Amino acid sequence: MRTELEAAVADALRAPSVHNSQPWCWRISDDEVRLYADEQRHLIATDPDRRDLVLSCGAALHHLRVALAARDLAADVHRLPDPEDRTHLATVTVSRAPHGGDPAVAALYPAIAARRSDRRRMSRRPIPADHLQTLVQQAAHHGATLVPVTHPARRQQLLAVIAEAERLLHEQPGYAGELWSWTHRFPGSHDGVPASHVATPTSGTLNLSPLRQFGAAGLAQAPWLPGQGRGDDAAELLVVTTTGDEVIDHITAGEATSAVLLAATALGHATTPLSQALEIDSTRLRVRRDILHVPEHPQLVVRVGWPATGAPALPATPRRDLRSVLLD
């Protein structure tokens, strides 16, 4: 079984993470996988309270569960198993499923290889209501609530808050250098956000952009088509929320985010995780109090839409290999 576990962990390495920092380590035995946060990859200026780090690891944990189900393996997950080791986020005990893996979970497996963080303009074709409901159900199944911000006025508010958070982040000491570090990686580093995955700015749009300002952009936008007109795309902004705001809730948010992203990909949508507004205390409060009007805690914004017509498929972002993330 160990060979299958190694293959499943290799699939989990495709999970999204803040700045593609891949802040995780794994320990594999014959029937168990342990997930650890790699605090050497903690983005201190961007993510001072480790929210993004843990959420990223939660997404990898869900990717692992999907990969195991696809191999007809059952997973018993124990989150935060060691109160004296805050880096040990989960232990997954694995067994051969007598009737096969969970089919609903395993169905998401092909989306692991297909999912990308797409920072380009999306289509003006609206997302069907039943697709949004599917994504809401995915989040609920994993212990979180997904709140679509579809009302035009509230959507505009959310865009303004994201833009304000972007401004505040750039004023924080160390943020600009940290961002530069993760967008100008040395050859062979297999992480970070290369210019080839940052889209050139669009023109003629009416709204503020929710995308993080990564710097150098080498990814072309899809061409405007005759009769298409210019203006904003129809991508929806969805907010992942949890009842609490502790480490266990950040893990839950990561797992739910992974489920939403993979389900959206399976439906044919492009997706972009957006964390800026939740990395600043003041803007996180504004999202919760002034936009969502809910008691739950917002953890991440997910942008979902149809890919723009004529947009070529995105290549995969660089990833570290399995050997570099395994602990003895």
| Pair (296, 151) in one structural domain | yes
pTM score = 0.95
For residues 296 and 175, membership in a common domain is answered with: yes
Which tens digit of pLDDT belongs to each residue from 131-149? 999 999 999 999 999 999 9
44 found inside a domain: yes
Flag whether 89 is in a domain: yes
| Number of domains forming the structure of the chain | 2
Tens digit of each residue's pLDDT (9 = 90 or more) over 184-201 = 998 888 999 988 888 887
Bridge partner list, 93: 32, 76
Q: Which residue has the higher pLDDT, 320 or 203?
A: 320
Contacts 24+ apart (CB under 8 A), 46-52: 46/18, 46/19, 46/169, 46/175, 46/178, 46/179, 46/279, 47/18, 47/279, 50/247, 50/250, 51/250, 51/278, 51/279, 51/299, 52/17, 52/18, 52/275, 52/279
Query: Is 206 a residue whose pLDDT tops 60?
Result: no
The confidence score (pLDDT) of residue 203 equals 58
Chain-centroid distance of CA 252 in Å reads: 12
- What pLDDT, on the 0 to 100 scale, is given for residue 196? 86
**Are 20 and 63 contained in the same domain?**
yes
Share of the chain above pLDDT 70, in %: 95
Residue 41 in any domain: the answer is yes
- Mapped onto helix, strand or coil, the DSSP state of residue 87 is coil
Out of 58, 86, 113, pick the residue that ends a domain.
113
Name the residue range of residue 272's domain.
129-305
Verify that 28 and 85 share a domain, yes or no: yes
The confidence score (pLDDT) of residue 228 equals: 56
pLDDT-derived band at 205 (thresholds 50, 70, 90) equals low
Assess whether pLDDT exceeds 70 at residue 4.
yes
Boundary of a domain, candidates 113, 145, 178:
113
Band of residue 223 on the pLDDT scale cut at 50, 70, 90: confident
* Whole-Å CA distances, 13 to 44, 256, 299: 22, 17, 21
- Is residue 62 domain-resident? yes
